[in-house]
């Protein structure tokens, strides 16, 4: 097995897809909306629980970590590297994969309502909180404008550090959390590789 590079472009990943173990670190709702063929869903906040299974899968094939745009998969690769597991991140994530014209698969048994991507959930929540802060600042008390200022500061911090605390909080909401059976199935699929 050759050493996998830190990142793979979509065409490189597509060429090697049959020999890669693909781990999708997005939320279950994002995963259900479309994922790379053969990808196993282990949300980023559950990655530590699946380390042994991921290590087992990585011993049998190169590991490719995928998210929506690449930021979460880079974080996952760093966490995996700290544990001695080599992995590559898909440059641009599933967005770049789809933009390149490659197929995304959806689970046959997924429910038919469309889930919002984490990025869309963050934009909606941040925008709503900014508007709420402005409205309360005008109607109730000017000090409540600090809500909007706090959200703006959080967005700047998020951009500078390439992290998103709001996404972490939103990821813990019931519609974004995997059911225990989903994580168990993902771990079993990784052990079977």
Half-sphere exposure (Cβ direction) of 177: Cα atoms closer than 13 Å: 7
Residue written as tokens 């050493």?
3
Q: What is the Cα–Cα distance from 4 to 87, expressed in whole angstroms?
A: 7
| Cβ atoms of 77 and 87 closer than 8 Å | yes
- Residue 190 CB partners (closer than 8 Å, separation 6+): 21, 23, 40, 42, 50, 53, 54, 56, 57
Q: At 112, list the tokens.
A: 């038919």
Catalytic residues: 67
Structure tokens at 188: 């079993």
- Compute how many other C-beta atoms are within 10 angstroms of the C-beta atom of residue 73: 28
């Amino acid at each position: 097995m050759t050493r996998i590079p830190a990142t793979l472009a979509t065409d490189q990943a597509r060429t090697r897809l049959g020999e890669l173990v693909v781990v999708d670190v997005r939320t279950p709702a994002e995963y259900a909306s479309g994922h790379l063929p053969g990808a196993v869903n282990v949300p980023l906040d559950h990655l530590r629980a699946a380390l042994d299974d991921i290590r087992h899968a990585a011993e049998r094939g190169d590991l490719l970590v995928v998210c929506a745009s690449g930021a979460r998969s880079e974080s996952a690769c760093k966490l995996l590297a700290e544990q001695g597991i080599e992995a590559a991140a898909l440059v641009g994530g599933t967005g770049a994969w789809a933009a390149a014209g490659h197929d995304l698969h959806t689970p046959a048994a997924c429910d038919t309502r469309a889930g919002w991507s984490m990025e869309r959930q963050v934009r909606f929540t941040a925008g709503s909180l900014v508007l709420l802060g402005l409205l309360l600042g005008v109607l109730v008390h000017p000090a409540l404008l600090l809500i909007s200022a706090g959200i703006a500061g959080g967005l700047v911090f998020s951009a500078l550090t390439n992290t998103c605390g709001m996404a972490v909080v939103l990821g813990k909401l019931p519609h974004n959390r995997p059911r225990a059976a989903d994580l168990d199935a993902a771990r079993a699929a990784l052990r079977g590789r």
